[in-house]
Structure 1
């Protein structure tokens, strides 16, 4: 096939992915805590012009390197400080990742398999969700996937040291450097482990000696070292905190999140469904094919398995950590679907019959659970969940009917379209879930009472998106949280109110103050603070209070606020 046609196909796949991820990207409020944190770090970078030292709530913040902050800052410069801008880098990285997977699958499976693999990845629920979420993991996943695809290309040239092999190896080194600047050395560690393990499995370990190590290391260092040197010079203690505390200590820590070793099993199954149904068929087809295909299968299984095991070992786990392991499953699913399209009529009917039965059972179970226990979520989310379950059920019934009539390709198309509708409904559900963990409305209510010289404070918690929406520093009362490591710096003192006594003194001083408090703390604050706080806003479990008795209370929030006679704490 002509290279120009292949490039055109990849461009069309990229455009389709962007059409999936960009519409409505800025509608949902920033989700706490991750989206609020990363959005505010980028906003402060843009406002201050300091692109070396990341800051969150004006406190030095070194948990992650700056590449995605830089990308969000560039987006803010173009689109303004809003939700669309800070989510744009994740959407672009996800669309790029779909393209890279399509290119890799094109080599392994051919054009049809590449398209199916791209569809399976782009419409996997976990991947789709984080493509529209302002966090670092889509960027890390993109650079790791691009590095592994480049390594695969280098490994299938005549020699790693040849012209083409060397150039692809340099691309891999550059991608790993970008991944390191996104989330640290985990990119280099995992991608390097996958590459080495695959070479060993192929009996090609000695070829590592012919890789262009000197030039690749020089390229990697040229990209990564300048920022590490500059930030370490400006911030004593950075290197130990970043490399030891943030990577070694956190990996070995048994307290954060506290999930068991099987955490990612349901995440992977649910996050790649319904496409995971076709993965075993893809594995079987590759294992029965020629040696090149079996080698590709080993590459994909090692890729998935090492990342899955690595992130399953520590107790500190989040669902998005597994994103770099999803692409090999998408490629296997693409091959599984391609293989199924060649089945005879009886086998296609049997396969789609099982597919429909499993999905109808899952949809029915989800609907029953929502009807029984959905009161905890609220009517809007129950409605959204029931609509998603109904869409899944309707989609698989339509697919079965079409497949029964011997139109398997049309059935797969119907499945893809059904997943597009399902993902759209899931996006609406995210907006309806705003009350669970977003505070955009509360921030806007508080901002109406902020004027030059006012102090914006939060009582014993940190609303990460509050500084982003108000453009005010958020003083944390009797709380430091994840800002603790560098909270003693002289430039950070204004971000903290050390204790309740200091809060009472400032509240009574007459200087303007807006305080954000949780519902459970409101009775205590209404009783202890003088003048008595006026409730001027609320959202979810939080309330906005002011120390200006002349302010007009919000009647709805006032009605829902517990009184000072309620149990204190």
Structure 2
């Protein structure tokens, strides 16, 4: 039985926990630029929004970008505008989404159970590797996670602690925001299925309403409102322009990237059981609790505990939804993690009281430290091929020695945490070790890897090579090249075939051959360029990049052959 003093203590501890979470999640911000595959794309789109004033239709270079709705790009553009600094600002939406998700999980656990359960749920969420890893990247998924978590929380509070119509409407509104973030925010509404089951079966603790049909229907309006606020102006403008490019943008965004991607996936084909491996790997070490808690969940469901049924059922429904199509990615199931930890938290206290559990956590922390120490030491001393490939891919000097010392440093942090807290406080040793590693690794490696990962060094070399009066064109380019360009480059479309881009680039170069240069991916050089007269700038993100002027173009070569 939780006392008032226990509840007050847990609330105070939560804010100390949030301070620690801020340190863990914010570590490294400002130390690097956007890294592929996704960060440069969204940062480039946000940059172009600000510079062009075109907010309804995202652009990637000269082309419309229809892969995703624009909400994340709006958020990044706003943070750029507020802070005036591009390097740190692009990660701020993810940071705020991560902190917000932790806050929502805590408050939901507190409403459903008590403050201690809410705190335990938030700690479990922060302990999961996938959660921290995703929040440390400027992708769409942290924002989607935030909206889905708010949506699920609103429905849980209404369905189990209601009627609370404001929470229900907020949850539906957040689901709508999830739709214009990545399309799958509608999954929040699946929470109503286990609620309907529990209500029909007369489970205790489930909200019962009578004569409130219009309030339930208002949830649909709340869900559609944010979608309409974006969709209606976009459709009016697109069909007002009535050009093939804008019509194709609408068709691709609303149909191909949503329904067709789900029903007929064209990439990332994986077997139906793929997400079982994802949960075992990416939710580590929290996933280790799942088999331990199965008996407790079984007993809770037998006791008709709806506070366990709803989050567990939503997790399984989301798992089923994402397992049906052939196209699957590890990140898809992340929004289910907050519901899993909410179902775990009420039963974790029973594990924390057991001595073997504390010792097992201690041993796990020591094991993780030994793994990092052994891997770093092996890479430094034996120079295995895997280590050599990693060092070459990042263009690191001395065989990547600095990177391997960083790995050793992370191992030392785990060992120090274990030595300080000892087996008696093994859970704390593991959590502190994880937190220290999440701080130490980005702070030490971001400056080391940034020049290569962001192509900052490559674009600096290109700028120096072409001289102060030179002009630069990009062929088969990546978003990070355009983002890191020292002067405005010329490009000929992103999705056009490489041969067509090279054709137009050579024609552009021929108009002023004395000062015009072309930067090209090695796969797109083509037969009209003499490979002996091109300049190899380097390798970035597993792509080799070459620079050439008009002297490298073979005389008399027909550009039509490109």
Calculate the TM-score normalised by the size of structure 2: 0.79
Give the equivalent residue in structure 2 for 1:542. 544
Give the equivalent residue in structure 2 for 1:467. 482
Q: Does 1:155 align with 2:197?
A: no
Q: Which among 508, 511, 514 is matched to residue 509 of structure 1?
A: 511
CA contact (8 A) 2:361 2:426 kept: no
CA contact (8 A) 1:108 1:293 kept: no
CA–CA distance in 1 between the matches of 2:510 and 2:177?
50
Q: Which among 188, 191, 195 is matched to residue 194 of structure 1?
A: 191
How many Å apart are 1:435 and its aligned residue? 7.3
How many Å apart are 1:55 and its aligned residue? 1.1
How many Å apart are 1:305 and its aligned residue? 1.8
Instruction: Label 1:506 to 1:222 Cα distance change in 2 as closer, same or farther (>3 A).
Output: same
* Partner-residue secondary structure (3-state), 2:473: strand
- Unmatched tracts of structure 1, length 5 or more: 160-164, 485-495, 551-568
Give the equivalent residue in structure 2 for 1:294. 305
CA contact (8 A) 1:148 1:195 kept: no
* Partner-residue secondary structure (3-state), 1:70: helix
Instruction: Label 1:447 to 1:261 Cα distance change in 2 as closer, same or farther (>3 A).
Output: farther
Give the equivalent residue in structure 2 for 1:271. 282
Give the equivalent residue in structure 1 for 2:530. 527
CA–CA distance in 2 between the matches of 1:84 and 1:139?
17
Instruction: Label 1:365 to 1:224 Cα distance change in 2 as closer, same or farther (>3 A).
Output: same
CA–CA distance in 2 between the matches of 1:546 and 1:110?
66
Q: Does 1:118 align with 2:115?
A: no
Q: Which among 406, 412, 415 is matched to residue 427 of structure 2?
A: 412
* Partner-residue secondary structure (3-state), 2:270: coil
CA–CA distance in 2 between the matches of 1:136 and 1:178?
12
Give the equivalent residue in structure 1 for 2:48. 44
Give the equivalent residue in structure 1 for 2:387. 374
Give the equivalent residue in structure 1 for 2:180. 181
Give the equivalent residue in structure 2 for 1:54. 58
CA–CA distance in 2 between the matches of 1:474 and 1:332?
52
CA–CA distance in 2 between the matches of 1:15 and 1:357?
25
Give the equivalent residue in structure 1 for 2:222. 219
Instruction: Label 1:359 to 1:33 Cα distance change in 2 as closer, same or farther (>3 A).
Output: closer
Q: Does 1:88 align with 2:95?
A: no
Give the equivalent residue in structure 2 for 1:262. 273
CA–CA distance in 1 between the matches of 2:361 and 2:264?
45
Instruction: Label 1:474 to 1:199 Cα distance change in 2 as closer, same or farther (>3 A).
Output: farther
CA–CA distance in 1 between the matches of 2:210 and 2:530?
70
Q: How many residue pairs are counted as aligned between the two chains?
A: 519
Please give the per-residue CA displacement for 1:453-476, whole angstroms capped at 9, x wherever unaligned: 9754333x3311222222766655
CA contact (8 A) 2:94 2:135 kept: yes
How many Å apart are 1:245 and its aligned residue? 0.7
Please give the per-residue CA displacement for 1:111-167, whole angstroms capped at 9, x wherever unaligned: 3332232222123221111112111110001100111011111112343xxxxx111
1:395-474 → structure 2 map (5 Å cutoff): 398=419, 402-403=422-423, 407=424, 410-427=425-442, 428-429=444-445, 432-434=448-450, 437-448=453-464, 456-459=472-475, 461-470=476-485
CA–CA distance in 1 between the matches of 2:235 and 2:549?
42
CA–CA distance in 1 between the matches of 2:222 and 2:434?
41
Query: Which is further off, 298-307 or 368-377?
Result: 368-377
Give the equivalent residue in structure 2 for 1:564. none
How many Å apart are 1:45 and its aligned residue? 0.7
Please give the per-residue CA displacement for 1:76-106, whole angstroms capped at 9, x wherever unaligned: 0022352311111011101100111112222
How many Å apart are 1:268 and its aligned residue? 2.1
Query: Which is further off, 200-209 or 421-430?
Result: 200-209
Give the equivalent residue in structure 1 for 2:336. 325
* Partner-residue secondary structure (3-state), 1:279: helix
Instruction: Label 1:443 to 1:262 Cα distance change in 2 as closer, same or farther (>3 A).
Output: farther
* Partner-residue secondary structure (3-state), 1:498: helix
Q: Does 1:101 align with 2:117?
A: no
* Partner-residue secondary structure (3-state), 1:133: coil
CA–CA distance in 2 between the matches of 1:111 and 1:480?
51
Q: Which among 209, 233, 247 is matched to residue 230 of structure 1?
A: 233
CA–CA distance in 2 between the matches of 1:196 and 1:62?
32
Q: Does 1:32 align with 2:43?
A: no
CA–CA distance in 2 between the matches of 1:85 and 1:312?
35
Please give the per-residue CA displacement for 1:424-458, whole angstroms capped at 9, x wherever unaligned: 34424465555775312222333456799975433
Query: Which is further off, 515-524 or 445-454?
Result: 445-454
How many Å apart are 1:280 and its aligned residue? 3.2
Please give the per-residue CA displacement for 1:217-266, whole angstroms capped at 9, x wherever unaligned: 33333322122111112224244322211111111334312233333333
* Partner-residue secondary structure (3-state), 1:101: helix
Give the equivalent residue in structure 1 for 2:555. none
Give the equivalent residue in structure 1 for 2:559. none
- Unmatched tracts of structure 2, length 5 or more: 203-207, 240-246, 392-398, 553-561
Calculate the TM-score normalised by the size of structure 1: 0.79
CA–CA distance in 1 between the matches of 2:56 and 2:189?
27
* Partner-residue secondary structure (3-state), 1:422: helix
CA–CA distance in 2 between the matches of 1:202 and 1:354?
44
Instruction: Label 1:242 to 1:519 Cα distance change in 2 as closer, same or farther (>3 A).
Output: closer
CA–CA distance in 1 between the matches of 2:458 and 2:259?
38
How many Å apart are 1:363 and its aligned residue? 6.4
Q: Does 1:128 align with 2:132?
A: yes
Please give the per-residue CA displacement for 1:248-291, whole angstroms capped at 9, x wherever unaligned: 11113343122333333333222222222233334433443587
How many Å apart are 1:516 and its aligned residue? 2.5
CA–CA distance in 1 between the matches of 2:528 and 2:436?
46
Give the equivalent residue in structure 2 for 1:171. 170
CA contact (8 A) 1:283 1:332 kept: no
CA–CA distance in 2 between the matches of 1:365 and 1:283?
34
* Partner-residue secondary structure (3-state), 1:18: helix
